[in-house]
Amino acid sequence: MKDPDRESPDIRQAIEADERLVHSVREGVRQYQELLESADSSAIAIMLTIWQLSGAQRLANEKAFAELDLPVNVAGNRLTILRTLYFAPERRMAVASLSRETGLTVTWVTSLVETLGQAGLVRRMGSAEDRRVSIVCLTPDGEEAFRGIVPAMGQAMAQTCRNLSEEEKDQLLALLHRLF
């Protein structure tokens, strides 16, 4: 094993982050075991780790997106809305369809669309076929923003999985699919 004092600051920081994650998960498992007699410690550790990694990925995305100088923070659910619209036919969807596609409530989608609309990334309009339906369209600025986000997102995702071989990535993906 290499001497940590001889490692680069980035590597030391990554090692310390890994140690914090492991400690946090172990502590979480211990806490659940105190509360639940029949606690499945492995299942708890897996889910706590996924939760921690999800948060870490969100932070990495936010850091990468901050460098893009967009008119609004597009991390989290705002990114989900932009991504869904970007890949939708004609870059538009009804609010109810966005809700179903993203798993977010109609109220939450409406709020996110309002914020993205104020930033000029999406536009909301009525449906020509049904006045009760609200359609959300990605604007040209929204398309440009998403195209700018994709490389940062891809880099953040690759960085997260940097220590896994292709075989390990395939195996992890298969296991995660079995969870859900």
Cβ atoms of residues 160 and 58 within 8 Å: no
Of the pLDDT bands very low, low, confident and very high (cuts 50, 70, 90), residue 72 is confident
Q: How far apart are CA 57 and CA 112, in angstroms?
A: 20
- Greater pLDDT, 103 or 69: 103
Q: How far apart are CA 75 and CA 61, in angstroms?
A: 6
Strand order in the sheet with 92-94: 92-94, 134-138, 122-126
Q: How far apart are CA 17 and CA 58, in angstroms?
A: 15
Give the torsion sign (CA, 162, 82, 69, 54): negative
Q: What is the mean pLDDT of residues 71-97?
A: 89
Q: What is the pLDDT of residues 103-145, one digit of tens each?
A: 999 999 999 999 999 999 999 988 788 778 889 999 999 999 8
* pLDDT higher than 50, residue 2: no
Q: What is the pLDDT of residues 39-48, one digit of tens each?
A: 888 888 888 8
Task: Specify the pTM.
Answer: 0.69
Q: How far apart are CA 156 and CA 65, in angstroms?
A: 10
Cβ atoms of residues 94 and 135 within 8 Å: yes
CB atoms within 10 A of CB 48: 19
Task: Tell me what the pLDDT averaged over the chain comes to.
Answer: 84
